[in-house]
Structure 1
Amino acid sequence: MKNWTLLFLRISLGWLLVIWGADKIFNVEHGIAVANTFYFGFLASETLLPIAGAGQILLGLAVVLGLFRRWVYPVQLILNTASLVAVATSIIDPWGWFIDGTNALFYPSLIILAASLLVMGFRDEDRLALDKLRQPA
């Protein structure tokens, strides 16, 4: 059961990166709006955003497949931490009782960060990752 759970978690985390990356490529205006609203305009460029999106798609696919996990998991953690920080007020006060402009729909950013830490922490036990399958017994 643990192997399938780690696989499912890895696929769902990686595919989230693929979706976010594709949004940067195919819906550049939305990506720019997100960058301007949550990330202080970082990469809010019609030229840079699709390049970042392509990188995010490649990272997501590596996570999904379980390739290069020693390197891609920390990068995934950095991206998911940045997302959490960007919406931190919605984690602290999801219903906006004390902080204006929060949104309960951003609360799962905390769960995503926890999942990222979990796949990193159990990397050696993920027997269905391609990295693990490529290693000699």
Structure 2
Amino acid sequence: MKNISLLLLRISLGWLLVIWGADKVFNVEHGLAVANKFYFGFLAAESALQVAGVLQMLVGLAVVVGFARRWVYPAQLLLNGASLFAVFKSVLDPWGWVFTGTNALFYPSLIIFAASLLLIALREEDTWTLDKP
């Protein structure tokens, strides 16, 4: 049961990065709008956004198959941490009682971040990976 759980966690978290990366590559207008609204305009240039999207997709695919986990898990944590930071008001106040413009749909960013930490903590327990001898 542990191996299946870690595999499903790895696939779901990695594929989320693939989806987010693909959005930057193939739906540039949306990616630019997200960059401007949530990330202070960081990477709000079409070519930079697309390069970042490709890199994000590669990290996501590596997470899915369990390749180079020592390097891609911290990268995943950094990417998911940036997302959590970008929507932290929605995590603290999902119903907008204190902060304006919050959205309860962003609360799972905290869960995604916690799951990313869990993958790092249980890296040695996860044996169904490409980088496990």
When normalised by structure 1's length, the TM-score is 0.96
Cα drift, residue 118 of structure 1: 0.3
**Partner residue, 1:42:** 42
**Partner residue, 2:75:** 75
Cα drift, residue 47 of structure 1: 1.1
Task: Determine whether 1:85 maps to 2:80.
Answer: no
Amino acid at match of 1:63: V
**Partner residue, 1:64:** 64
| Structure 1: gaps (5+ residues) | none
**Partner residue, 1:115:** 115
Deviations 1:76-102 (CA, angstroms, capped at 9, x unpaired): 000100100000000000000111000
CA distance in 2, matches of 1:74, 1:47: 25
CA distance in 1, matches of 2:54, 2:98: 38
Deviations 1:93-124 (CA, angstroms, capped at 9, x unpaired): 00001110000000000000000000100000
CA distance in 2, matches of 1:127, 1:72: 16
Deviations 1:24-65 (CA, angstroms, capped at 9, x unpaired): 011000000000000000001111111110000000000000
RMSD: 0.4
CA distance in 2, matches of 1:47, 1:6: 35
Amino acid at match of 1:116: S
CA distance in 2, matches of 1:69, 1:54: 18
**Partner residue, 1:22:** 22
Moved over 2 A (4+): none
CA distance in 2, matches of 1:56, 1:13: 12
CA distance in 1, matches of 2:32, 2:57: 17
Task: Give the secondary-structure state (helix, strand or coil) at the position aligned to 1:59.
Answer: helix
Amino acid at match of 2:104: A
**Partner residue, 1:130:** 130
Amino acid at match of 1:106: F
Cα drift, residue 130 of structure 1: 1.0
Count of matched residue pairs: 133
